[in-house]
Amino acid sequence: MIDVSVTISPIKDAEGRVIGASKVARDITEQKRTEEARRATEARYRTLFENAPDGIVIADTESYYLDANESICRMLGYTRAEMIGLHASDIVSESEVQHIGPALGTIKAKDDYHREWRFKRKDGSFFAAEVIATMMPDGNLLGMIRDITERRRPTRSCVRARNNLRG
């Protein structure tokens, strides 16, 4: 079976009466397959984006957020609607703001970027996160954010050892 696009146009005489029809049929099977493949790819991307345990943001080249997944919204305490349009400086600690420009420069130079940042939640509290960012094919920036608070907490054995040294 093939997909066909049919265009039918009236043929008119000198007085404007319809005296026939012109038909053109085009095989659009490949175009349909390409569209279905694109939709499947977009669905896979959206599923990955929405269900990733790490925070994911898409930003323009000036670091204004265009999209954010549920994980980063949960980490920061914002809704997706609130995240869209925020600037990176709105969600990092004041001491980190100076690093935004150099980070953007690295990413725009098409170098992958990896650094720990201190983020500021909507409620004003802070947390440490590992950030990996890169330039996407469409020219926007992709940032992946992993909360490393638990990794930074001392384990019980470390706390006991520290207390034993003091005692």
Instruction: Concatenate the DSSP letters of all residues of 39-93 into one string.
Output: HHHHHHHHHHHHH-SSEEEEE-TTSBEEEE-HHHHHHHT--HHHHTT-BGGGSB-
Helix/strand/coil percentages in the chain, nearest 5: 40, 35, 25
Q: Name, in order, each residue with C-beta under 8 angstroms of 47's C-beta and a sequence gap of 6 or more.
A: none
- How high is the pLDDT of residue 64? 98
**Cα–Cα distance measured from residue 41 to residue 63, given in angstroms and rounded to the nearest whole number:** 26
Q: Supply the pTM of this predicted model.
A: 0.73
**Cα–Cα distance measured from residue 32 to residue 39, given in angstroms and rounded to the nearest whole number:** 11
End-to-end CA distance of the chain: 82
- How high is the pLDDT of residue 39? 93
- Asked if residue 53 has pLDDT above 80, the reply is yes
Each residue's pLDDT tens digit, 54-85? 999 999 999 999 999 999 999 999 999 999 99
**Cα–Cα distance measured from residue 36 to residue 65, given in angstroms and rounded to the nearest whole number:** 29
Which pair of structure tokens corresponds to residue 61?
């080249």
- Asked if residue 46 has pLDDT above 60, the reply is yes
- How high is the pLDDT of residue 98? 96
Sign of CA dihedral 121, 124, 127, 133: positive
Q: What are phi and psi of 110, to 5 degrees?
A: 65, 25
Q: Which domains does the chain have, with CATH numbers?
A: 1-51 (no CATH), 54-152 (3.30.450.20)
Mean pLDDT value of segment 22-34: 91
- How high is the pLDDT of residue 155? 57
Instruction: Concatenate the DSSP letters of all residues of 71-84 into one string.
Output: HHHHHHT--HHHHT
Each residue's pLDDT tens digit, 106-163? 999 988 899 999 999 999 999 999 999 999 999 999 999 999 988 766 655 555 555 5
